Structure 1
Amino acid sequence: MRRVRNKIVTTVAAAAVVAAGSVLSLGGNAAAAEAAATIHGCPSGAVCLYPNGSWANDKPTYIFYTYGVHKIYNQIGTKRIYNHQTGGATARNCYDAAGTNCGGYQRANTYADYDYTPYNSIRLVK
């Protein structure tokens, strides 16, 4: 009986070590996936506007997640826009708040620095 009990304890301990290792590696992969999904503080699928013509310590001023027009207020001077959307979605800088008078297309996974003084909205388009 004692041999069987020792064998069970050893087997349970070994299983716990294997299970713990699996959880650790899973956590590591999940953390790596999350880190890859966010670039310069901009989550995957979003468009981010930074407070100046830099990555600003990976702290965007605005993060837009949905398609459509997003009003921006009091954005004076050079700002960086990063289109981190997926599926080929684009972003456009617009002169009016309604998002009807817009400039060129910012392609997915690209960034650019613009003088935002004349712009009043950003339009996300699929």
Structure 2
Amino acid sequence: MRKTIRQVLVVALGAVTAVVMAVGPAQAKADAWTNCPYGAVCLYPEGQGPESSPSHVFWSYGAHNLSGQYNRHWIINNQYGGAHAKLCNGYNGTGTCHHDMAPGTGWSTDFTPVNSVVLYLP
């Protein structure tokens, strides 16, 4: 039985669609308690707990500058592989840094003096 080019393309596209649907999109799974994707560091809105949606999600190593973050905020380190996070009072990870967070830790702290969040591998 001879097939047309259109019939072959429809079969091929159907197979590709089935494979893509089976694999699904690559998504980072959020931790059930913190709504923070696995592999990220999350900062939550002022006065809201980690059960809310994060206002900032940091994925890459290095300094992440902040602006307009005052009073108490929750921050969660949901990274893996031993990656840490710390808070610094200067931009670009400068000045005094504190709150060295190991993976799987987090807390509520005053972000008024904090101007950057640094993700790093010790």
Residues 37-116 of structure 1 aligned to structure 2 (within 5 Å): 37-39=29-31, 40-51=34-45, 52-55=47-50, 57=52, 59-101=53-95, 102-116=97-111
1:93 Cα offset (Å): 0.5
Unaligned runs of at least 5 residues, structure 2: 1-21
Provide the rounded CA distance (Å) in 2 between the counterparts of 1:67 and 1:98: 12
Provide the rounded CA distance (Å) in 2 between the counterparts of 1:78 and 1:103: 15
1:46 Cα offset (Å): 0.3
1:10-31: CA deviations, max 9, x gaps? xxxxxxxxxxxxxxxxx7xx8x
Percent sequence identity over matched residues?
37
Contact preservation (8 Å) 1:53, 1:113: no
1:42 Cα offset (Å): 1.0
Contact preservation (8 Å) 1:50, 1:56: no
Report which of the two structures shows the higher radius of gyration computed on alpha carbons: 1
Residue identity in the other structure for 1:77: N
Provide the rounded CA distance (Å) in 2 between the counterparts of 1:62 and 1:53: 13
1:56 Cα offset (Å): 5.0
Provide the rounded CA distance (Å) in 2 between the counterparts of 1:56 and 1:87: 24
1:62-105: CA deviations, max 9, x gaps? 00000000001100100000000001111100100120221131
Unaligned runs of at least 5 residues, structure 1: 1-26
Provide the rounded CA distance (Å) in 2 between the counterparts of 1:55 and 1:98: 25
Aligned residue in 1 for 2:118 = 123
Q: What RMSD over aligned residues (CA atoms) do the two structures have, in Å?
A: 2.5
**Which 4+ residue blocks in structure 1 deviate beyond 4 angstroms?**
none
Q: Number of residues paired by the alignment? A: 98
More helix by share: 1
TM score, norm. by length of structure 1:
0.68
Contact preservation (8 Å) 2:69, 2:111: yes
SS of the residue 2:63 aligns to: strand
